[in-house]
């Protein structure tokens, strides 16, 4: 059907030809535009609101010391997180270390797998297979994180302990692997999109010059897709840093300073989730937890912004256009 | 030599793909194997009994359904309007567009526990308590965790999903349709309402489905904004608390007294949630696929 | 205590269909915070309210906290079924949980690392254990904090070197050890008799707190909980009734 035929079926003739209603329609048009723009600005407002309302609860830490909690206390040695104690200590370094450890393990396991799979799907797989692989990996994305955490707690932890004779059953490795499974779909989907979007003439030129399909894929297509792949990795990293349920259930929650992946760890997000219920509204512990939340929010926002900028910069460099 | 390297690269990449899918199969298999034991009609329609070691999960299902309905009432229209902005009104060079785009992308990346904090600080303590002071003279009615605030928090969390999905569909509506409409004399608003929107129904549906799928399973945002451990009476007012499938799994896995006795129930609950989210996701995928094949015709 | 409260709610509502009881989990700290914030009428606590918390309640809601013991509990020490240890002294338990004793062989068991499990700091059980077993000293950083006693039991059940603590009511499928006065002494098991007579050193009362004295439906519920019927539920759940059998 020609487009005008479709359109005229959707519009009533009287609506558009009636001259008297033209003025009214134009006014409504203007009003609707204002409404739509204001809704769009609410989206910006929401992000600002989150920052304000979460940061606001932590703000007093800047200038006063609320029952032993202050901004300085978050970094004062010793590196102990003991908020409920005769001598409360709020050092966040063990928590930051825990978050970074688990995220690093997740990226270590997840990125190579996701990128390799994306490369396979986009460049090597037969077309028919491609149509099945991509949705299947997306199914992995559909698994709620509480289910992943459950699986890691009940099944994975025992298996890992049996295989490797680990001292701690619930540890950073356990949570990291489950987390990797959670971020693989994101990295995979965005990377695969980026790889598929590389124009075909790149591949054709490379093949014409005598390169094999694999050489083309690895040396031409993959670098050309770097903006998207970089963005994918940053998205995955951001998701891993902020994930709560998996680490809450699977990492053992010990605020232990150690670089080993085989010991129990405590992350920022799990700390907030575990301790928020007990705190008295407005107390020192409460404010510190909101500080942790603000920290998470700021870090993920910066990562997001950085990923966005990287994406645009690389696109500019490689393709010369936005 | 070249061929050997080439072949090993392909094999490695293929192996990575297989490994990922294998993990999916293992997880699904484990849950299905252990979860079908207690699955029955009674399980889906009865409340928990005997201290969570028997009975069913009906209140959790009901609470989840209510939660996602309330959430969708807010998130879908809101998301569609913002998607309309992105697809129809936004000028790529304008600063406003850059800011809104960044805001939405940012929103998509906010950790779920931060949404929980936001829900507690803004909805429960902020708006809730302000409403209590203004409407009820300080009585504690709305300023506490409830299904209303939990669904609002979820709406904010799922907003980006709706926006991005609907926008993608709207952009796929051929330009000629809009041009034909304007050429026939319709205003921009009429074009959007009568032409673009009807052609984007699949995207709106997909967006809603994906949002619902997240609403059923996300736990951190509702932990402190309204989810409860045990409520044999179903929520009837907006300021009631509710049970949710994801929260129920978390609670059963960590708080239950006799872990061995609750484990079959726990597995079955996980299976129910998984089946629900999978059905939703697969439906969304099918709609998306059909939409794409229509558009290319 | 959440499973006790949940069962009380279940039984009471069967008999009084016009009453609705909502039970939310999360640890004594959560409950007390909710009582102070006014979002709950009854808060269950496995530890006593601190003075600072009572003051908060007074200043926020202008009401006094009213404490009602509703059951007795023995704080049991859980170990893995394969652990041969039968008893430890309070001093040994304290040293283990302070990280000073790290190997089972140092307390007479098979050599192996001791892995510490326990509750999050929002739990009354955590606070009680800290006060009475650690003399208010802090847990070491290797201590794994799990979100519920069910999780603690589960973790110890799956970990040969694990040790955990929690209410006796949760100990259906885990081994508990006795506490002896000295390393060669007889084991005092966490049984009801030992708790009532006071010989088991770490037993405690479980409380219900209300803001101001209980009234109306809340008082009716509380009276029922203290009645023989309510106390039967206590036994059913594995805790100990206030007055014994």
Residue among B49, B241, B253 minimizing CB distance to C22: B241
* A257 with C30: Cβ contact below 8 A: no
Residue with tokens 């049996």: A162
pLDDT exceeds 50 at position A51: yes
Residue with tokens 């009680």: C128
C135: nearest CA in chain A? A86
Residue among A47, A53, A153 minimizing CB distance to B126: A53
Q: Which two tokens stand for residue A233?
A: 């990795």
* B111 with A46: Cβ contact below 8 A: no
Question: How does residue A19 score in pLDDT terms, banded at 50, 70 and 90?
Answer: low
A223 touches chain B (CB under 8 A): no
pLDDT tens digits for range B15-32: 999 999 999 999 999 999
The Cα A94–Cα C141 span in angstroms is: 9
**Nearest CA distance, A85 vs chain B (angstrom):** 24
Q: Mean pLDDT, chain C, as a whole number? A: 87
A258 touches chain B (CB under 8 A): no
Rounded average pLDDT over A166-189:
92
**Secondary structure class of B181 (helix, strand, coil):** helix
pLDDT exceeds 90 at position B115: yes
Give me the interface pTM, i.e. the ipTM. Answer: 0.89
Phi, psi angle pair for C174, to nearest 5°: -140, 160
* C155 with A170: Cβ contact below 8 A: yes
For chain B, positions 108-167, list CB contacts with chain C under 8 A.
Answer: 140, 144-145
The Cα C145–Cα C122 span in angstroms is: 10
The Cα A231–Cα A192 span in angstroms is: 12
pLDDT tens digits for range C107-156: 888 998 999 999 988 788 888 899 889 998 989 988 999 888 888 988 89
pLDDT of residue A13: 65
* A278 with C122: Cβ contact below 8 A: yes
Separation in Å, CA B234 to CA B155, C12, C17, C165: 21, 17, 13, 35
Looking at chain A, the domain(s) classified CATH 1.10.3720.10 span 72-319
**Nearest CA distance, A88 vs chain C (angstrom):** 9
Q: Is C80 exposed, middle or buried (0-12, 13-18, 19+ CB in 10 A)?
A: buried
B156: nearest CA in chain A? A46
Helices C124-133 and C90-97, axial angle in degrees (round to 10): 120
> Which residues is B231 bridged to in the sheet?
none
* B228 with C22: Cβ contact below 8 A: yes
Beta strands at C42-45 and C87-89: parallel, antiparallel or unpaired: unpaired
The Cα A276–Cα B188 span in angstroms is: 49
Residue % of chain B over a pLDDT of 90: 42
DSSP A243-273: --HHHHHHSB--------TTS-B--HHHHHH
For chain A, positions 163-222, list CB contacts with chain B under 8 A.
Answer: 181, 184, 188, 212-215, 217-218
Question: How does residue A277 score in pLDDT terms, banded at 50, 70 and 90?
Answer: confident
* B140 with C6: Cβ contact below 8 A: no
The Cα B253–Cα B268 span in angstroms is: 12
Question: How does residue C94 score in pLDDT terms, banded at 50, 70 and 90?
Answer: very high
pLDDT tens digits for range A181-207: 999 999 999 999 899 989 999 999 999
Strands (DSSP E) found in chain B: 48-49, 54-55
Residues in A closer than 8 angstroms to C142, CB to CB, are: 254, 256, 263-264
The Cα C22–Cα C41 span in angstroms is: 10
* C27 with A170: Cβ contact below 8 A: no
Rounded average pLDDT over B178-207:
86
- C20 alpha carbon, distance to own chain's centre: 26
Q: Which two tokens stand for residue A202?
A: 């790149």
**Nearest CA distance, A244 vs chain B (angstrom):** 6
Cβ–Cβ under 8 Å, residues B53 and B258: yes
- B230 alpha carbon, distance to own chain's centre: 23
* A16 with B184: Cβ contact below 8 A: yes
Rounded average pLDDT over B173-188:
86
Residues in C closer than 8 angstroms to A85, CB to CB, are: 130, 136, 138
The terminus-to-terminus CA distance of chain A in angstroms comes to 34
Residue among C56, C143, C144 minimizing CB distance to A170: C144
Cβ–Cβ under 8 Å, residues C28 and C177: no
Residues of C with CB under 8 A from a CB of B: 2-3, 6-7, 9-10, 13, 20, 22-25, 37-39, 146-151, 153-154, 157, 169-170, 172-173, 237-238
Which of A67-71, B162-166, C177-181 has the largest mean confidence? B162-166
Residue among B102, B121, B247 minimizing CB distance to A53: B121
Residue among A113, A139, A303 minimizing CB distance to B24: A139
Residue among A94, A168, A280 minimizing CB distance to C53: A280
Residues in B closer than 8 angstroms to A53, CB to CB, are: 118, 121-122, 126
Separation in Å, CA B195 to CA A11, A24, A37, B175, B261: 8, 19, 20, 11, 57
For residue A72, the 8-state DSSP code is G
The Cα B56–Cα B72 span in angstroms is: 26
C119: enclosing H helix or E strand: strand C115-119
For the ranges A114-123, A285-294, B227-236, the lowest mean pLDDT is seen at B227-236
Residue among C23, C37, C154 minimizing CB distance to B259: C154
Question: How does residue A20 score in pLDDT terms, banded at 50, 70 and 90?
Answer: low
* A116 with B12: Cβ contact below 8 A: yes
pLDDT of residue A317: 77
C22: nearest CA in chain B? B231
**A78 cis-preceded (ω within 30 degrees of 0):** yes
Rounded average pLDDT over B167-176:
88
The Cα B190–Cα A29 span in angstroms is: 8
Query: On the CB side of C97, how many CA atoms lie within 13 Å of its CA?
Result: 27
The Cα A204–Cα A201 span in angstroms is: 5
* C172 with B257: Cβ contact below 8 A: yes
pLDDT exceeds 80 at position C57: yes
C37: nearest CA in chain B? B144
The Cα C50–Cα C124 span in angstroms is: 11
A235 touches chain B (CB under 8 A): yes
Residue among B27, B156, B184 minimizing CB distance to A143: B27
* A3 with B180: Cβ contact below 8 A: yes
Residues in A closer than 8 angstroms to C122, CB to CB, are: 84, 274-275, 277-279
User: In b/e form, how buried is each residue of A42-80, taking b as 16+ CB within 10 angstroms?
Assistant: bbbebbebbbbbbbebbebbeeeebbebbbebbeeeebb
pLDDT of residue A322: 43
* A117 with B86: Cβ contact below 8 A: no
Residues in A closer than 8 angstroms to B273, CB to CB, are: 144, 147
The Cα C148–Cα B254 span in angstroms is: 5
Rounded average pLDDT over A226-247:
91
pLDDT of residue A182: 94
Residues in C closer than 8 angstroms to A94, CB to CB, are: 141
Best of C118, C119, C122 to mutate (most A CBs within 10 Å, chain A): C122
Residue among C39, C148, C173 minimizing CB distance to B258: C173
At the second CATH level, the architecture of A72-319 is Orthogonal Bundle (1.10)
pLDDT exceeds 90 at position A250: yes
DSSP A189-252: HHHHHHHHHS-HHHHHHHHHTT--HHHHIIIIIHHHTHHHHHHHHHHHHHHHHH--HHHHHHSB
pLDDT exceeds 70 at position C24: yes
Q: Which two tokens stand for residue A87?
A: 């001598």
A67: nearest CA in chain C? C52
Rounded average pLDDT over A94-111:
95
């Amino acid at each position: 059907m020609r487009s005008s035929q479709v359109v005229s079926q959707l519009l009533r003739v009287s609506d558009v030809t009636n001259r008297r209603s033209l003025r009214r329609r134009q006014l409504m048009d203007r009003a609707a535009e204002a409404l739509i723009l204001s809704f769009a600005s609410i989206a910006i407002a929401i992000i600002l609101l989150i920052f304000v309302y979460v940061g606001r609860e932590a703000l007093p830490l800047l200038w006063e010391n609320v029952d032993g909690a202050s901004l300085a206390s978050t970094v004062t040695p010793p590196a102990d997180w003991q908020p409920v104690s005769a001598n409360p200590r709020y050092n966040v370094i063990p928590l930051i270390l825990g978050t970074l450890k688990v995220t690093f393990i997740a990226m270590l396991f997840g990125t190579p797998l996701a990128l390799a799979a994306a490369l396979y799907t986009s460049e090597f797989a037969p077309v028919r297979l491609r149509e099945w692989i991509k949705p299947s990996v997306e199914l992995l994305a559909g698994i709620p994180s509480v289910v992943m955490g459950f699986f890691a707690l009940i099944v994975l932890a025992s298996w890992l302990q049996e295989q490797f004779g680990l001292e701690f059953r619930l540890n950073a490795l356990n949570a990291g692997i489950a987390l990797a499974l959670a971020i693989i779909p994101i990295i995979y989907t965005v990377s695969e999109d980026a790889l598929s979007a590389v124009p075909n003439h790149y591949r054709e030129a490379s093949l014409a010059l005598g390169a094999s399909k694999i050489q083309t894929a690895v040396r031409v297509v993959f670098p050309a897709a770097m903006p998207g792949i970089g963005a994918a990795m940053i998205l995955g990293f951001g998701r891993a840093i902020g994930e709560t349920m998996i680490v809450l259930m699977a990492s053992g929650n010990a605020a232990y300073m150690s670089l080993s992946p085989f010991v129990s760890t405590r992350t920022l997000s799990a700390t907030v989730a575990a301790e928020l219920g007990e705190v008295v509204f407005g107390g020192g512990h409460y404010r510190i937890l909101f500080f942790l939340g603000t920290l998470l929010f700021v870090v993920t926002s910066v990562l997001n912004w950085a990923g966005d900028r990287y994406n645009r910069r690389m696109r500019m460099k490689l393709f010369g256009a936005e | 030599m070249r061929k050997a390297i080439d072949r090993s690269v392909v094999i490695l990449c293929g192996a990575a793909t297989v490994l990922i899918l294998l993990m999916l199969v293992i997880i699904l298999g484990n849950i299905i194997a252990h979860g079908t034991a207690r699955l029955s009609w009674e399980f889906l329609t009865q409340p928990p009994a005997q201290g969570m070691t028997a009975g069913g999960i009906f209140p959790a299902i009901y609470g989840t359904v209510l939660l996602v309905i309330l959430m969708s009432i807010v998130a879908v229209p809101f998301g569609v309007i913002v998607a309309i902005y992105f697809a129809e009104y936004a000028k790529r060079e304008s600063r406003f567009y850059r800011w809104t785009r960044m805001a939405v992308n940012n929103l998509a990346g906010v950790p779920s526990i931060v949404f929980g904090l936001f829900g507690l600080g803004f909805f429960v303590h902020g708006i809730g308590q302000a409403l209590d002071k203004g409407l009820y003279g300080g009585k504690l009615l709305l300023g506490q965790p409830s299904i209303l605030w939990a669904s609002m928090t979820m709406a904010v969390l799922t907003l980006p999903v709706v926006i991005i999905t609907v926008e993608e569909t709207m952009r796929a509506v051929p330009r000629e349709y809009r041009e034909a409409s304007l050429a026939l004399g319709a205003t921009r608003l009429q074009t959007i309402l009568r032409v673009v929107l009807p052609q984007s129904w699949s995207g709106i549906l997909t967006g809603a489905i994906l949002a619902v799928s997240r609403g059923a399973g996300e736990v951190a945002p509702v932990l402190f904004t309204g989810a409860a451990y045990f409520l044999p009476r179903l929520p009837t007012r907006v300021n009631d608390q509710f049970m949710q499938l994801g929260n129920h799994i978390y609670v059963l896995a960590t708080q239950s007294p006799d872990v061995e006795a609750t484990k079959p129930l726990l597995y079955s609950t996980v299976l129910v949630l998984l089946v629900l989210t999978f059905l939703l996701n697969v439906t969304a995928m099918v709609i998306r696929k059909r939409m794409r094949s229509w558009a290319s015709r | 205590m959440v499973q006790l409260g949940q069962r009380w709610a279940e039984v009471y509502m069967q008999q009084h269909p016009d009453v609705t009881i909502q039970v939310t989990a999360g640890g004594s700290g959560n409950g007390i915070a909710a009582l102070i914030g006014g979002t709950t009428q009854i808060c269950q606590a496995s530890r006593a309210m601190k003075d600072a918390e009572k003051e908060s309640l007074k200043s926020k809601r202008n009401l006094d906290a009213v404490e009602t013991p509703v059951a007795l509990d023995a704080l049991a020490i859980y170990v893995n079924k394969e652990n041969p240890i039968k008893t430890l002294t309070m001093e040994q338990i304290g040293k283990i949980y302070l990280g000073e004793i790290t190997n089972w062989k140092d307390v007479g068991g098979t050599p192996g690392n001791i892995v510490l499990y326990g509750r999050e700091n929002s739990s009354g059980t955590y606070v009680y254990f800290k006060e009475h077993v650690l003399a208010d000293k802090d847990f070491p950083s290797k201590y794994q904090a799990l979100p519920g006693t069910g999780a603690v039991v589960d973790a110890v059940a799956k970990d040969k070197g694990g040790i955990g603590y929690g209410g006796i009511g949760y100990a259906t499928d885990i081994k508990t050890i006795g506490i002896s006065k000295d390393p060669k002494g007889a084991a005092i098991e966490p049984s009801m008799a030992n708790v009532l007579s006071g010989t088991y050193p770490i037993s405690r009362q479980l409380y219900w707190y209300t803001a101001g004295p209980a009234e109306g439906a809340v008082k009716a519920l509380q009276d029922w909980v203290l009645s023989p019927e309510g106390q039967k539920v206590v036994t059913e759940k594995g805790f100990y009734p206030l007055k014994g059998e």
